[in-house]
Chains A and B, each alone.
Chain A
């Protein structure tokens, strides 16, 4: 089941019991963010939250926590809501193989219904903006899919980027934006600024759930997010042409904001409570001037609470960080079995692999650090044997405790690149990185006493089935 827009997905969530409507009047602050924060603290299966009775507003419609549980993540992919996490990641990886799926262009985009231009633009009149965390410098758009093109190759569909970046509303028609230097939009901006030109940009809000997943996915520079969305949703992604920039934007968006990043300008931004579980900001960031806003009648404002994990963002960028790393590693090392990169967008990664020869696991760890995403994230890698499930943390801890001789199995590499947001970096943007080789030594690596592992008894599997049957009969 592919959803073409946010509204279709919200309806499906409601049908599945995964959308909770808050009908009592709430304050914009702190209630909206506190409720979404709390959704991550009430256990498994948290629902999306819907608010339409917000003090001081006459027609606010706000959706939060839309991707904020494994149940909702499964439904976003069209899977049953009780699909186990590992199966969701494997389905994600299997569908990836259909990439690229050409998008479907439609010209009747519902966001064409209403327009603001020039001096009439007032983002506050279109969006019920609000603050998330106490220390945030202001009100943010933190779940937009941002579209930009390579100024040196503007007709290349693959190099057109769709990504999620934090955007602080700093005026009725102005936003400050954080382009993380390792991300594609920063490459586009650098090229434009080297030429002294503004960078045209389109911010799309309130999108179908798979497009949002893809916008947060680390992909190769020339891979199209729309073609990946088509593969993951098993149907072409519907796109339309944005009226001012001519960019390809989602057909189903609630709001499409177009303008430019003003060349060579920076303005104070933040702080903002980030996916790292820490605030970052108080830095001077690029500024967007909005020139046109297109929006549906009665638009839905989708926002995301983030803070100390786990919150919605951890579900949103969990599987979609695992799968690109898995694919990129397997392309060179088919021995790689599975990758768990769900911790802080892959600052820490657990990889299970077969060993080609002694020292191989460390090579896999180093390669993870040099993937496109690894350059800015992967700071700690734990490598485990092929019979360890990297999503099963007790198994991983067993491997760490039993297989690691720290003197030779822990490698620390100084002064490597990392996103400036990484709280442990010193200075910002630079960190040491670590590989923990928790695999069993093989080949020339003859260290340790691993020749006689205790393996599950051959009959244990049959007994497991028998125990389950007996339990079921008893209960």
Chain B
């Protein structure tokens, strides 16, 4: 099973595959949207080699602020 290198989520989709068959795929975590190519270095593709400083948890994702904030709907009276 492929884990997201960044948030360890186990649902990973495929966004693209190499025009030359079988060389690489572009994968994406369905939770944190981290996107990587399978031929990238381990530090970008493997959970056990992914730098701690860039790892995200479910709490980090839940706490992510909105930029820019969604403004109040303007009501017409």
Contacts and interface: CB of A to CB of B under 8 A. Distances in A.
A binds B: yes
Interface of A: 27-30, 55-59, 122, 124-125, 129-131, 134-135, 137-139, 168-172, 176, 178-179, 181, 186, 189-190, 193-196, 264, 266-269, 271, 279, 282-286, 420
Given A178-B67, A268-B61, A282-B64, A131 B19 contact: no
Contacts of B37: 28-29, 130-131
Given A194-B74, A420-B67, 14 more contacts: A29-B40, A55-B20, A58-B20, A59-B19, A122-B16, A129-B16, A131-B35, A131-B36, A131-B37, A134-B51, A190-B71, A194-B73, A285-B67, A286-B68
Contact of A284 (B19, B44, B67): B67
B39 A169 contact: no
A243 B74 CA distance: 30
B70 interface: yes
Nearest to A195: B74
B3 interface: no
A138 B72 CA distance: 31
Nearest to A140: B35
Contact of A124 (B15, B64, B68): B15
Interface residues of B, number: 37
Residue with the greatest number of chain A CB neighbours at <10 A, chosen from B18, B51, B72: B18
Contacts of A125: 16
A189 B37 CA distance: 32
B35 A137 contact: yes
19 contacts: A28-B24, A28-B37, A56-B18, A56-B39, A124-B15, A125-B16, A129-B16, A130-B37, A131-B37, A131-B40, A134-B54, A137-B33, A137-B35, A138-B34, A168-B33, A179-B68, A266-B70, A271-B54, A284-B65
Nearest to A265: B70
Contacts of A279: 54
Interface string B1-41: 00000100000000110111001101010001111110111
